[in-house]
Amino acid sequence: MAYKWYFLRCQSGREKRIRDNAIHRIKIAGVDDVVAQVLMPFKIVQDMKRGKKRTVEEKLYPGYLMVQADLEGADETQINKARATLRGIDGLRDFLGTGGEPTPISEAEVTEILSLMTDSETRPQVTIGLSKGEQVKINTGPFDGFDGTVEEVNADKGTVRVIVTIFGRPTPVDLKYWEVDSVA
């Protein structure tokens, strides 16, 4: 069997529930030999919410699921049954493609997506939410209460360089991203 990866359109915001429903329905319909996997592509990121550091799944393609299926080499009736099963799932649309025919994703794209997913699980990406030139207020440490301007954001290290005016002179201060709050 020659499995290829395809994108499926689905209702945005319900990807996880639709994926779980699709996996369940495929098993019940007995077409799991045609549709091997259903994935919601995501990456794991860390961010701050209400002063607390949290780890969340961020969807790579909102409104889409990835399906590994054999839509060419399998029995035609099984393929039709699999496609009908997928179309019958609430919130799930059809395959991405031209003229009603599914277009497979290239192997390079699939490899990139799957490696991004596995890399983010072992080393979550930090989402800082600040940009250069933004006004911030420092909320901890020796500079608590000082206002400053973001000069540099280093997402890999989870730090920001803030220019703070001390005794009338601009001074760069390196801080962790959770030590500052946006003023805007």
Q: Indicate which CATH number applies to the domain containing 147.
A: 2.30.30.30
Q: Are residues 13 and 83 in the same domain?
A: yes
| Residue count (the chain) | 184
Q: Are residues 23 and 111 in the same domain?
A: yes
Q: Are residues 163 and 95 in the same domain?
A: no
pTM above 0.75, yes or no: no
The whole domain housing 20 covers 4-126
The CA distance from 130 to 162, in Å, is 11
The pLDDT assigned to 161 comes to 92
The pLDDT tens digits for 140-179 are 888 888 899 999 888 777 788 999 988 889 889 998 877 8
The CA distance from 97 to 184, in Å, is 43
Q: Are residues 90 and 169 in the same domain?
A: no
Domain count for the chain: 2
Cα 5 to the chain's mean position, in Å?
A: 18
Q: Indicate which CATH number applies to the domain containing 38.
A: 3.30.70.940
Beta pairing, strands 35-39 & 64-69: antiparallel
Helix (H, G, I), strand (E, B) or coil at 70: coil
For range 98-115, the mean pLDDT: 86
Which of 86, 105, 126 marks a domain boundary? 126
The pLDDT assigned to 102 comes to 87
For range 5-18, the mean pLDDT: 91
Beta pairing, strands 42-49 & 125-126: parallel
**What stretch of H or E contains 101?**
strand 101-102
CB 126 within 8 A of CB 155: yes
Q: Are residues 110 and 32 in the same domain?
A: yes
Q: Are residues 15 and 56 in the same domain?
A: yes
The CA distance from 130 to 157, in Å, is 14
Q: Are residues 77 and 34 in the same domain?
A: yes
Contacts of 148 by beta carbon, 8 Å cutoff, 6+ apart: 135, 136, 137, 138, 162, 163, 164, 165, 173, 180
Q: Are residues 54 and 116 in the same domain?
A: yes
